[in-house]
Amino acid sequence: MLAKRIIPCLDIKDGQTVKGINFVGIKAVGDPVELGALYAEQGADELVFLDITATHEGRKTFVELVKKIAREINIPFTVGGGISTIQDAEALLNAGADKVSINSSAVRNPQLINDMALNFGTQFVVVAIDAKNYDERWTVTVNGGRIPTDKELFSWAKEAEDRGAGEILFTSMDHDGTKNGFANKELAKMADMLKIPIIASGGAGNMEHFVDVFTKGKADAGLAASIFHYKEIAIPDLKSFLNGKDIAVRL
């Protein structure tokens, strides 16, 4: 059985790690390179760095940051935010990222998934999906959750897999930052539909939530931010707890 992964997520704005609730109320919480190195030392399996206000002008700054991260950190890491071309992805992979995550750009131009999978291999391509439940329909959103689209969560996840995504990173906007647990029903439905790994994001508040996301939600990885940034849960304690619940983790 494959070990379940614990993935801290670092949202980057102006070179600093930040955190919000339901995608708003952003506060700075520390230096991304230092935080990433700390999590790697503590036993995180992977890291995700998202440039949440990525613009064309900010791309060079982020590439430099990725180079620093690659020098300091010895575990796989994914970067995302504003990646809309093969050249954007190539610059970040060349800077040392292990995988790239695409979200709004994939919704607007689904062919980008095919092109990236063809150019770099499916294992490098993570399709992130931010979705919100509107009247019992899970609607895919873009622009950091600000704009609803005509795409539906499950059909879009399947299309992303068919086009060459190597992983899906699903964030439930209804759960994000609430610390009330992950969207396990939706995650389990997705896991039954897809063959590729699913990273669950949005809602982690305690260790039991990770037990639930790996058992009820059938997720391959659990991603969280504030509980790690604010030292509410230490990664070694979480892994030890999961191990005690017979959930396979790398200790």
Domain CATH for 26: 3.20.20.70
Q: What is the pLDDT of residues 141-192, one digit of tens each?
A: 998 788 999 999 999 999 999 999 999 999 999 998 889 999 999 999 999 9
Per the annotation, the verdict on 130 as an active-site residue is yes
Any domain includes 249 = no
User: What are the beta bridge partners of residue 170?
Assistant: 129, 200
218 exposure class (CB count in 10 Å sphere: 0-12, 13-18, 19+): middle
User: How many structural domains does the chain have?
Assistant: 1
The catalytic position among 130, 176, 212, 220 is 130
- 102-113 pLDDT tens trace: 999 999 999 999
Given the residues 11, 45, 212, 220, the one annotated as active site: 11
Chain segment 85-134, per-residue pLDDT in tens: 999 999 999 999 999 999 999 999 999 999 999 999 999 999 999 999 99
Q: What is the DSSP letter of 209?
A: H
Structure tokens given for 31: 């230096």
* pLDDT band at residue 18 using 50, 70 and 90 as cut-offs: confident
Residue at 140 is within a domain: yes
Indicate whether 251 belongs to any domain: no
Q: Is residue 216 a part of any domain in this protein?
A: yes
Establish if 250 belongs to a structural domain: no
User: Is 60 part of any domain?
Assistant: yes
The whole domain housing 118 covers 5-244
User: Does residue 172 lie within any of the structural domains?
Assistant: yes
User: What are phi and psi for residue 148, nearest 5 degrees?
Assistant: -70, 150
CA-to-CA distance for 198 and 188, rounded, in angstroms?
10
Task: Tell me, yes or no, if 31 is annotated catalytic.
Answer: no
